[in-house]
Amino acid sequence: MEEPIRLHRSVPRNDARPKACGREVYAADRYPRQALLAGALRCGIPAGRIRAIDIRQASAIPGVFRILTAADVPGSNRQGIVHKDMPVLCGDVVRYCGDPVALVLAESSEALEQALSRIHLDIEPLPAVCSLEQALAEGAPLVHDDRPGNLLAHALIQKGDAAAAFPSCDIIVEGVFSTPVQDHAFLETECGIARVEEDGGLLMEVSTQSPFRDRFEIAHALGLDFQKIRIVSPALGGGFGGKDGATVQCLLALAALHADGRWVRMHWSREEHFVAGYKRHACRMHYRLAAKADGTLVALDARLWYDTGAYAHLGAEVMELGMEHASGPYRIPNTRIEGWCVHTHQPVAGAMRAFGVCQAAFGIESAMDMLAERLKMDPLTLRIHNALCKGDENGAGVRLETSTGIRSCLERIQDHPLWRQRNEWKTAAPRFHRRGVGIAAVWNAAGYGGGVRDAAIAKIELLPDGTFLVHNAVSDMGQGNSCAFFQIAGHILNQDPARIQVRHPDTRSAYPSGSSSAGRTTYTYGRALVEACERMKARLINRAGLFLFLQNDDGLELEPGRVFHKPSGRDISLQALAGMMQPEERVILSETVAPTCNNVPATATGFFIGFPHVIFAYGAHLVRIDIDETTGELTVVDYLAVTDGGRVLNPAMFTQQVQGGVAQGLGYALMEDVVVRDGRMLTQDFTTYLIPGSLDVPDIVSIAVEDHPEETGPFGMKGIGEVAMNGPLPAVANAVFDACGIRIQQGPITAERIWNAMP
């Protein structure tokens, strides 16, 4: 018999074997017999008015089952998480090159491709705004007639009096920074299957981060009863935010409504994903940062413009979270942070790992190094001097009452050989090479923030065979939350691995628990699961005492497969116990709501939802780089990431999350850039969109700081899936300055940009 599962150990992932052996079934693996294939025709231009769609020739192709247009869409024909502004199928105007105008159902991929190429689309091109500058220009064409100035949102954070504080400061630095559009580049592109059941309900298996919200999206867009929609979310082949919101869901549901009860399958190609999938927001920032001569920060003025593309999606929320983090993890008594979320005729921007924060991190961390250089101060010392501590107010005016470990992270960097030996390493650079060391201090909120109920309902069941089933309600997109829940349940119930199962989300058997996003998954659902498991343990011990005819429950212990009475040596198996309990007795539900700010400061205006946050993860990053003077080629030699994520439930998974975030961040820093020119997608696949390979990523050293357990989190943990993404771009930029004396203020930091900036 295996040992019981324990927390705070590197337990192998419960899904590792089926994934490694190819037994795990993803949505992309589902090929129902006689399924119809569905595909969308994209408009291909940034802006236009539809004059006609002629489907007659395409409909005559053998194997074409049906072709649908906007006239076939029941309901509102609008989807969107917060703002319902995105058509399922466009019928009048198109606003970006990926807008769908027709949906084809076919018996084969050949018939589908032929039909898509034979639909005659007559569109009158309209003037387009394809950049922030164009969209904000006076008299610019409007992407949406009801959004003047092409503004989706405009907000302001003010604490103290920044304008009055600047004149009294000893040092002021100023800079303009910009970040690129990034693609999620997950392995499994958007996909799913759907059909209408005999009872009239809709069944869908789809690669999604939010199965419960998908029901409402589909119901609203197509005029259906959400209670008759069942969503199953199998294992995801990656998400990173790109599957948070409707991708194929409404199109699939529409196709299923016209498929006469047959399964319909939709799977975007990589090319279609680049055109129609969500992206990270491009951002332009203007920073002014001021300090006293001793390095004490005094004032910040930051302005941030986020390009949200053609539709709202989560654009305003991305901007708001970026603004909340724009001051960095520092004490700054006077701040003025203004944000604009701007519509353009570009692809739709939405959620992506670090959700607006990694853009702001580039601005503030570059400004911190600029300040250190002007002060002639060690940049690490400057950061430690100003680092937030528990009880401080952050730049948004929120008093930090939860675990705050940024200072500890920075001190670990200070003590590490990669920092202490930096000068010797730099002077040993070979001929025609320059070496640099850069650092960054980062933070990232967890959860939805104020104004949104961040809740989860955990469900655990004792099965008739005496094993336990956790009904996971939040999708596992590869980050390993199902393993965390496996460990939590096994630890509390004292069971070995064979006795704990975790089921993927199914809206028929699990309960609404929010999306797999915002660094909230293990924290929020885990809180509910802890309580559910504790109650299950107490119930089983109580029932065992009754069935063993004991006077009380003293001396009863839950062990693998049984409840044991130590004083008498008697026991009862969990299988026998399950057989003597009613089915409803064998199920425990527990709901939890994440904490919110008790004293919301009156510092923010223009925010819709999501302000403020109270739980933050922190990190300090160090990078060593080598630059070839003759070509500008940059090589990342070493990377160190120190992270405060509270208590670590699984050290191996913690390290993997940090390393994955850093690797993705290095792609963002060095090479990733979705190129759209005049509203047309030029980056179509991985031949033109570069992501880091194994030779591009160094050994990433991860150190966990566990000195600051989060009292509100399950066993002291907090989410760390996003914070690691924020460090690489500013750390690399600061290392380039350290090596060459040039300040790169636009990402990605390519060899061409470095070489052109060389003196």
DSSP state of 714: G
CA–CA dist 589, 576 (Å, integer):
22
CATH number of 35-126+193-267: 3.90.1170.50
Ramachandran category for residue 679: left, alpha or beta (phi over 0 → left; psi -120 to 50 → alpha): left
> What tens digit of pLDDT does each residue of 321-357 get?
999 999 999 999 999 999 999 999 999 999 999 999 9
Q: Please, are residues 521 and 474 in contact by the beta-carbon 8 Å criterion?
A: yes
- In the chain, % helix, strand, coil (3-state, to 5) comes to 30, 25, 45
Structure tokens at 410: 């920075």
CA atoms in the 13 A half-sphere facing the CB of 633: 8
Parallel, antiparallel, or unpaired: how do β-strands 468-471 and 500-503 relate?
A: parallel
Parts of the chain belonging to CATH 3.90.1170.50? 35-126+193-267
Q: What is the pLDDT of residue 706?
A: 97
Which residue reads 């390979």 in tokens?
693
pLDDT for 562-608, tens place per residue?
A: 999 999 999 999 999 999 999 999 999 999 999 999 889 999 999 98
Position 608 scores a pLDDT of: 84
* Cis amide prior to 601 (ω within 30 degrees): no
Q: Is the dihedral of CA 202, 205, 209, 212 positive or negative?
A: positive
- Quick one: CA dihedral 350, 653, 404, 385, positive or negative? negative
In the chain, CATH 3.30.365.10 sits at 282-450+599-757, 455-593
Residues of the chain with pLDDT > 70, as a percent, come to: 100
Tens of pLDDT, residues 166-224: 999 999 999 999 999 999 999 999 999 999 999 999 999 999 999 999 999 999 999 99
Query: What is the 8-class DSSP label of residue 330?
Result: B
DSSP 8-state assignment for residue 716: G
Which residue carries 């003037």 as its tokens? 127
Bridge partners for 49 per DSSP: 93, 124
Return the structure tokens found at 595: 């904490």
pLDDT at position 1 over 70: no
CATH of 282-450+599-757 among 3.90.1150.180, 3.30.365.10, 2.30.40.10, 3.10.50.40: 3.30.365.10
458, β-bridge pairs: 590
3-state secondary structure 351-373: CCCCCCHHHHHHHHHHHHHHHHH
Q: Summarize the confidence of residues 494-516 as an average pLDDT.
A: 98
Closest C-alpha to 82, from 204, 226, 216: 216
Which residue has tokens 């528990």? 390
What does the pLDDT average to over 443-465? 97
Of 86, 27, 362, 91, the closest CA to residue 221 belongs to: 86
- Short-list 401, 387, 755, CA closest to 613: 401
Q: Classify domain 455-593 at the CATH topology level.
A: Aldehyde Oxidoreductase; domain 4 (3.30.365)
d(CA 673, CA 686): 11
Q: Using one digit for the tens of pLDDT, what is the confidence trace for 247-290?
A: 999 999 999 999 999 999 999 999 999 999 999 999 999 999 99
Interatomic CA distance for residues 151 and 481, integer angstroms:
37
> CA–CA separation, 114 vs 116, rounded Å?
6
Going by C-alpha positions, the residue among 566, 283, 603 that lies closest to residue 450 is 603
pLDDT band at 457; cut points 50, 70, 90 = very high
pLDDT per position as a tens digit, 360-379: 999 999 999 999 999 999 99
Could you tell me the pTM of the whole model? 0.97
Neighbour-count burial for 416-452, b at 16+ CB within 10 Å, e otherwise: bebbeebeebbeeeeeeebbbbbbbbbbbbbbbbbee
